[in-house]
Amino acid sequence: MTAKMLFFLLLFVASKALARELIDVKAESISVSAVLFFGDSTADSGNNNYITTPFRSNFSPYGRDFVNQTSTGRFTNGRLANDFIAKYVGIKDYVPPYLDPTLSIEELMSGVSFASAGSGFDPLTPKISNVISLSDQLENFKEYRAKLEAAIGKDRTKEHFNNALFLVCAGTNDFVVNYFTIPIRRRSYTIPSYMDFLLQESRKFLQGLLDQGARRIGVVGLPPMGCLPAVITLYADNPITKRDCISKFSFIARDYNQKLAIELRSMQLHLQPFGTRIAYLDVYGPVEDMILGRKYDFEEVSSGCCGTGMLEASFMCNSRSSVCADAAKYVFWDSMHPTERSYDLLFQAVRPAIDALITN
């Protein structure tokens, strides 16, 4: 072996060892005490099971590919992004709903979801569906904090929240269920002014989390709303034969996301001296990639797996509905919500932003 070949061999071995060392350092530098979720159906793991609302999914065929084919109240065929995130940070395999009365203090401590399907930043949005508003989710969190303080003390609870990961996912219902569908907000707000109103409400909610001890917060942006099967069905000129995304609705989501990212950067800069981290999590790009076939091999991108896939969601997707054979070939499970595979891909897409939040 020549001296040059020996040099490159030693360099290769050293680089491999360094890579392993960096991975070990990264793993040791990640410390997450709990995962806590707020928002709408993309984060609701079953809270709506415990309130009176038509926005439920605790029945077949929801949960068809979950453990024991259990319909938990998750609006998909299996796991949510919540569950993938919780497992990734080493907390738990599945995130339960806060309102589940059977949860132990240990289960509560490691993380729960406060989210409610049908909710949004606009206080009017949850009233339309009779679901849990963001302000009430914050009140539930305060109650949760009191439970932890009673169990482990105020100082340990404060430290617990310092190392917890908070994720907020809301806004789609504010447009799709509220602004686009009923005329109340359209009488008072243009689309740009409604965006500003939602950003004001989101900032108010985030400040509420900060006041209660949150220090690592990720905020999920809007998907390309014009690609949701229900939106295509309701607003396309010929939704039966032509199921392309409706650009004007997706552009609204894109513009809102740009404003949201700026708002979060502003909050981050203001809070930076206090060690708080706030990050924008982009799902618009990944969902668009799925729809347009840029990176993934989905066979059906404009209709859901349940029923016709054009309008069915919640109680309209039920045990009498026909269901596709393989949900992994579909971007959407019903007319509004992604499949488990899509949620897994979305988690992978936002993982770098999560790493930035949780790495010490």
pLDDT tens-digit readout, 341-357? 999 999 999 999 999 99
By CB atoms closer than 10 A (0-12, 13-18, 19+), residue 67 is: exposed
For CA atoms 133, 137, 143, 147, give the dihedral sign.
Answer: positive
Taking every pair of Cα atoms in the chain, the longest distance, rounded to a whole number of angstroms, is 80
Cβ neighbour number for residue 259 with a 10 Å cutoff:
15
Q: Out of 334, 335, 342, 344, which one is annotated catalytic?
A: 334
Q: Judge whether 337 counts as a catalytic residue.
A: yes
> Kind and range of the H or E element at 280?
strand 277-281
Residue 20 has pLDDT above 70, yes or no: no
C-alpha span between 309 and 41 (Å, rounded): 17
Q: Out of 113, 335, 337, 344, which one is annotated catalytic?
A: 337
- 58 within 8 A of 44, measured Cβ to Cβ: no
Q: How many residues comprise the chain?
A: 360
Of the pLDDT bands very low, low, confident and very high (cuts 50, 70, 90), residue 142 is very high
C-alpha span between 219 and 40 (Å, rounded): 12
- The pLDDT of residue 272 is 66
Residue 24 has pLDDT above 70, yes or no: no
Residue 7 has pLDDT above 70, yes or no: no
Q: What is the mean pLDDT of residues 16-20?
A: 37
Of the pLDDT bands very low, low, confident and very high (cuts 50, 70, 90), residue 274 is confident
Of the pLDDT bands very low, low, confident and very high (cuts 50, 70, 90), residue 65 is very high
Residue ranges and CATH numbers for the domains of the chain are: 32-285 (3.40.50)
pLDDT tens-digit readout, 181-234? 999 999 999 999 999 999 999 999 999 999 999 999 999 999 999 999 999 999
Q: What is the mean pLDDT of residues 60-82?
A: 98
Tokens at 79, concatenated: 């796991």
Of the pLDDT bands very low, low, confident and very high (cuts 50, 70, 90), residue 144 is very high
DSSP 232-274: HHHHSSSTTT-----HHHHHHHHHHHHHHHHHHHHHHHHHGGG
Q: Which residues of 220-246 are buried (b: 16+ CB within 10 A; e: fewer)?
A: bbbbbbbbbbbbbbbebeebeeebebb
Count of H helices and E strands in the chain? 13, 5
Tell me what percent of the chain is helix, strand and coil, each rounded to the nearest 5. 50, 10, 40
Q: Out of 41, 116, 250, 303, which one is annotated catalytic?
A: 41
Closest of 315, 310, 285 to residue 300, by C-alpha: 310
- Global pTM reads 0.91
pLDDT tens-digit readout, 25-47? 333 445 899 999 999 999 999 99
Look over the chain and give the mean of its residue pLDDT values, rounded to a whole number: 92
- The pLDDT of residue 360 is 75
Give, as one character, the DSSP assignment of residue 69. Answer: G
- Percent residues over pLDDT 70 in the chain: 91
Which residues, in sequence order, are CB contacts of 245 under 8 Å at separation 6+? 224, 226, 227, 232, 291, 302
- The pLDDT of residue 30 is 56
- 126 within 8 A of 120, measured Cβ to Cβ: yes
C-alpha span between 287 and 285 (Å, rounded): 6
C-alpha span between 169 and 350 (Å, rounded): 13
- The pLDDT of residue 8 is 36
Q: Judge whether 250 counts as a catalytic residue.
A: no
- The pLDDT of residue 10 is 35
- 332 within 8 A of 338, measured Cβ to Cβ: yes
For CA atoms 287, 291, 295, 297, give the dihedral sign.
Answer: positive
Q: Judge whether 334 counts as a catalytic residue.
A: yes
Cβ neighbour number for residue 198 with a 10 Å cutoff:
26
- The pLDDT of residue 284 is 98
